Structure 1
Amino acid sequence: MRFPRLLRFVRNPWVQDVALVSPLLVGSLFALGVSISLQTDPTGPLLLLAGALPLVWRRRHPLVVAALTVGLDVSVPIVIDSTVFLGMTSFIALYTVGRHRAGRLVLLTGLATSTAYTVSGLIDQYDPAQPGSAVPPFITGFFFPFLGLGIGQFVRLRRELKERRQLEMRDEAIRGERRRIARELHDVVAHHLSVINALVGGARTVLPPEPTPAREALEAAEGSARQALAEMRQLLQVLRADTNDGPDAATGVGASGLPGLVEQSGNASLRVDGEPVPLPTAVDHAVYRVVQEALTNSRKHAPGARAGVRVAYLGKAVEVEVLDDGSPVKTVGGGSGFGLGGMAERVALCGGRLETGPRARGGFRVYALLPLENA
Structure 2
Amino acid sequence: MRIPGVRPVWRILRRPRVQDRLLTIAVALPGLYALPASFIVPVASPAVRADAAAVVLGALALLARRSRPLLVALTTVALDITTALFTPFSVAEPASLVAFYTLGRYTPARLAWLTALATAIAEGFAMWATKGSANQVGNGLMLLLAVGVGHFFRLRYELRERRELHAAENAVRAERRRIARELHDVVAHHISVINVLVGAGRTTMATDPARAQEVLVTAERTAREAMSEMRELLHVLRAEDDKEPEDHSGVGAAEVATLVEQARAAGLPAALTIEGEPAPLPAAVDHAVYRIVQESLTNTRKHAPGARASVHLIYEEEAVAVEVLDDGTSWTPGGRDATGAGYGLSGMAERVALCGGQLQTGPRPRGGFRVHARMPVPGHAAQPPPNPERRSSVDQRAARG
TM-score between both structures, scaled by the size of structure 2: 0.52
Q: What does residue range 123-272 of structure 1 map to in structure 2 within 5 Å?
A: 123-126=129-132, 137=136, 139-140=137-138, 142-208=140-206
Q: Deviations over 1:173-196 (max 9, x none)?
A: 222222222333233454223322
Given that 2:359 and 2:373 are in contact with CA atoms closer than 8 Å, whether structure 1 keeps it comes out as: no
Partner of 2:290: none
Given that 2:120 and 2:143 are in contact with CA atoms closer than 8 Å, whether structure 1 keeps it comes out as: yes
Alpha-carbon distance between aligned partners in 1 of 2:95 and 2:186, rounded to the nearest angstrom: 65
Q: Are residues 294 and 26 of structure 1, via their aligned partners in 2, closer, same or farther at CA, if it must alter by over 3 Å?
A: closer
Given that 1:51 and 1:86 are in contact with CA atoms closer than 8 Å, whether structure 2 keeps it comes out as: no
Q: Deviations over 1:330-360 (max 9, x none)?
A: xxxxxxxx9xxx988523883362489xxxx
Shift in Å, 1:291: 7.6
Amino acid at match of 1:353: H
Alpha-carbon distance between aligned partners in 1 of 2:97 and 2:74, rounded to the nearest angstrom: 12
Amino acid at match of 2:81: V
Partner of 2:10: 7
Alpha-carbon distance between aligned partners in 1 of 2:193 and 2:125, rounded to the nearest angstrom: 86
Partner of 1:246: none
Shift in Å, 1:77: 1.7
Shift in Å, 1:86: 4.0
Q: Deviations over 1:223-253 (max 9, x none)?
A: xx8xx99xx8xx99xx9xxxxxxxxxxxxxx
Partner of 1:88: 94
Q: Are residues 203 and 144 of structure 1, via their aligned partners in 2, closer, same or farther at CA, if it must alter by over 3 Å?
A: same
2:67 is aligned, of 60, 77, 80, to 60
Q: Which moved more, 1:32-41 or 1:180-189?
A: 180-189
SS in 2 for 1:350: strand
1:77 aligns with 2:74: no
Q: Deviations over 1:140-188 (max 9, x none)?
A: 3652332111111111001111111111122222222222223332334
Shift in Å, 1:76: 1.8
Alpha-carbon distance between aligned partners in 2 of 1:182 and 1:22, rounded to the nearest angstrom: 57
Given that 1:98 and 1:152 are in contact with CA atoms closer than 8 Å, whether structure 2 keeps it comes out as: yes
Alpha-carbon distance between aligned partners in 2 of 1:85 and 1:14, rounded to the nearest angstrom: 28
Shift in Å, 1:85: 3.8
Q: Deviations over 1:89-132 (max 9, x none)?
A: 11110110100112432233223312322222222442xxxxxx
Given that 1:52 and 1:89 are in contact with CA atoms closer than 8 Å, whether structure 2 keeps it comes out as: yes
Alpha-carbon distance between aligned partners in 1 of 2:171 and 2:320, rounded to the nearest angstrom: 41
Q: Deviations over 1:56-100 (max 9, x none)?
A: 22112111110100111112222x234264432111101101001
Q: Are residues 192 and 93 of structure 1, via their aligned partners in 2, closer, same or farther at CA, if it must alter by over 3 Å?
A: same
Structure 1 residues not aligned, in runs of 5+: 127-132, 240-289, 298-307, 312-319, 323-337, 357-366
Q: Are residues 161 and 344 of structure 1, via their aligned partners in 2, closer, same or farther at CA, if it must alter by over 3 Å?
A: closer
2:55 is aligned, of 48, 61, 70, to 48
Given that 1:354 and 1:368 are in contact with CA atoms closer than 8 Å, whether structure 2 keeps it comes out as: no
Q: Are residues 34 and 295 of structure 1, via their aligned partners in 2, closer, same or farther at CA, if it must alter by over 3 Å?
A: closer
1:36 is aligned, of 39, 49, 63, to 39
Alpha-carbon distance between aligned partners in 2 of 1:115 and 1:84, rounded to the nearest angstrom: 15
Shift in Å, 1:370: 8.1
Alpha-carbon distance between aligned partners in 2 of 1:164 and 1:171, rounded to the nearest angstrom: 10
Partner of 2:123: 117
Given that 1:44 and 1:82 are in contact with CA atoms closer than 8 Å, whether structure 2 keeps it comes out as: no
Alpha-carbon distance between aligned partners in 1 of 2:181 and 2:386, rounded to the nearest angstrom: 34
Given that 2:65 and 2:102 are in contact with CA atoms closer than 8 Å, whether structure 1 keeps it comes out as: yes
Q: Deviations over 1:268-292 (max 9, x none)?
A: xxxxxxxxxxxxxxxxxxxxxx985
Alpha-carbon distance between aligned partners in 2 of 1:295 and 1:51, rounded to the nearest angstrom: 62
Q: Deviations over 1:288-319 (max 9, x none)?
A: xx98548999xxxxxxxxxx9746xxxxxxxx
Partner of 1:259: none
1:20 aligns with 2:9: no
Given that 2:92 and 2:139 are in contact with CA atoms closer than 8 Å, whether structure 1 keeps it comes out as: no
Q: Are residues 83 and 143 of structure 1, via their aligned partners in 2, closer, same or farther at CA, if it must alter by over 3 Å?
A: closer
Partner of 1:98: 104
**Aligned pairs, number:** 251
Q: Are residues 370 and 142 of structure 1, via their aligned partners in 2, closer, same or farther at CA, if it must alter by over 3 Å?
A: farther
Amino acid at match of 1:167: L
TM-score between both structures, scaled by the size of structure 1: 0.55
Amino acid at match of 1:7: W
1:347 aligns with 2:345: no
Shift in Å, 1:7: 2.3
Larger Rg: 1
Structure 2 residues not aligned, in runs of 5+: 238-279, 288-314, 322-340, 342-346, 361-370, 376-382, 388-401
